[in-house]
A = this chain, B = another copy of it.
Amino acid sequence: MEKLEKYFSSLTDNKNPINLYQPIGYILQQGGKRVRPKLVEISTHIFGGNIEKAIYPAASFEMLHNFTLIHDDIMDLAPLRRGKETVYKKWNNNIAILSGDALATMALQQILLTPVASDQILKMASLFAQTSLEICEGQQYDLDFETMDQVSIDQYIEMIRLKTAVMLAGCLKVGAILSETSENNQNEIYNFGIHVGLAFQLQDDLFDVYSDAETFGKQIGGDIKSNKKTFLYLLALEKANETQKAALKKWFSSETINFDEKFISVKSIFDQLNIKTETENKIHYYVNEALSNVENLTVSTEMKTVLIDYAQQLAKRIK
């Protein structure tokens, strides 16, 4: 991981044009949790691949992730990311568009540079392209949902699969490809990533309402404040009677309401409809799916434990 930080510096330091590469260095060197490189590393470890070589796909998927952040922040008008100004705020829209474009290409180059056989590189590159395109699709659905009157639970799950889960799954699969493990293992680890990703996102939705700010790490009720159509909201709409539906729609149509009153009222409707338990059940469902993906892997029990621990961490957090 420390190698990764140095590697990132080497890719952008003193490169021209400075207005293109400086924003890229800025976002890559902010760090963040580095979840994606970690997943590439875990997967490579589990399937007995070469950890040294894994730095290239690990860098690639982290760079792809950061490219999406640069462009998403323009679209979402987000002023801050990881406590710092976003690229389009610190520079401007044009520089954010262009440095995002360049970063996506640099991410691809990392895959192409991986010192493995051509066939493996090609498989990794195809996965990279598929992941990249699906993330665009997910972001477009997310933007579409903002102005749609009706969004089904299935549509929502598909959106978060594309926007969030495929990236995690891609990181795990790229480690599997690098390690030249079986097709079966590649698919199971990919689906493990999808299920964990879905569970993660639903948990994020849940914690916005049912947690305290300290555990959650961000402000409670942010989704409700911004009228975001989360899993909880969409599930509530599906289960609500006419009165509850009208109330929910009213609360989610205005921006000028007293926030405390809004939060308490919306939460009260969620409580009446048993939304917390149903969301937890859905999360447990995905965690269990993830665990069965692990069971289907042909790796040692020790290696399975690494992944199970990862999924269990999640399950613990929602108890």
Contacts and interface: CB of A to CB of B under 8 A. Distances in A.
A302 interface: no
A140 B71 contact: no
A126 B119 CA distance: 15
B98 A139 contact: yes
A140 B94 CA distance: 9
Interface in A132-155: 132-133, 136-137, 139-141, 143-144
Contact of A109 (B104, B119, B121, B133): B133
B105 A17 contact: no
B109 A129 contact: yes
A98 B140 contact: yes
Contacts of A98: 71, 75, 136, 139-140, 143
A97 interface: yes
A132 B93 CA distance: 20
23 contacts: A17-B141, A17-B144, A19-B144, A20-B137, A71-B101, A74-B93, A74-B97, A75-B93, A93-B93, A95-B140, A95-B143, A97-B97, A98-B136, A98-B140, A101-B104, A101-B136, A102-B137, A104-B104, A108-B125, A108-B129, A112-B125, A122-B122, A125-B125
Interface residues of chain A: helix, strand, loop or mixed (majority): helix
Q: How many copies does the complex hold?
A: 2
A139 B97 CA distance: 11
Given A97-B75, A101-B104, A133-B102, A140 B17 contact: yes
Interface in A84-140: 93-95, 97-102, 104-106, 108-109, 112, 118-119, 121-122, 125-126, 129, 132-133, 136-137, 139-140
A135 to B, nearest CB: 9
B20 A140 contact: yes
Contacts of A101: 71, 100-101, 104, 132, 136
A259 B102 CA distance: 37
Contacts of A140: 17, 19-20, 95, 98
Nearest to A96: B97
A267 to B, nearest CB: 31
A105 B122 contact: no
A112 B94 contact: no
A105 B136 contact: yes
Given A16-B137, A17-B137, 7 more contacts: A17-B140, A17-B144, A74-B94, A93-B93, A102-B136, A109-B126, A112-B122
Closest 4 pairs between A and B when the two form their complex, measured CB to CB: A118-B118, A102-B136, A20-B140, A17-B140
Contacts of A16: 137
A122 B109 CA distance: 11
Contacts of A139: 98
Nearest to A141: B17
A105 B118 contact: no
A17 B95 CA distance: 27
A118 to B, nearest CB: 4
A105 B129 contact: yes
